[in-house]
Amino acid sequence: MSEDYPRLLEDREVLLARGVERRQARLRGWLDGYDGPRPLYRIELFLGRDRYTATAMDMFESLVRLRLQLEPRGWTIAVQGARRDTYPSGMCRDMGGGMRIYVTRTGSKTSAADLVDTLADAELDQIVTVAEQKTRHAEWCESATGRRV
């Protein structure tokens, strides 16, 4: 049986910010196929004449790699996967390709009601750097489980 790859999963406009500057950009997310049993996800961002691309084993990690390309240029991308209080579980990554992530709350464990789409729109005041998001996730893990990550 033949699969059709690459498979387009997301294709829409997103908001980017750099200081007070706001720009719309085209975001595309792809499932490129499989490297053995492992999926390969790709995210592309078209900002004017610039094109940014990142590939990883799940969409969240592809987004992280894309953000790491944008951050040195001062850009942030207003999607749920870039929020201070969102992060995928291992199951979200392994079973769902990182397409959905959890909104976390200090001291509380997550449930299915806390799931949001990784590439869905988010408010700019919720967006942080990759480093800030990882730090906040480690703090949440400790508050929710009592264990350090």
| pLDDT tens-digit series, residues 17-29 | 999 999 999 999 9
Q: Residue 7 forms beta bridges with which residues?
A: 31
Domain boundaries, the chain: 7-145
Of the pLDDT bands very low, low, confident and very high (cuts 50, 70, 90), residue 52 is very high
Please give the average per-residue pLDDT across 26-39, as a whole number.
94
Answer for the pair 72, 14: CB distance below 8 angstroms, yes or no. no
- Cα within 13 Å of Cα(24), Cβ side: 3
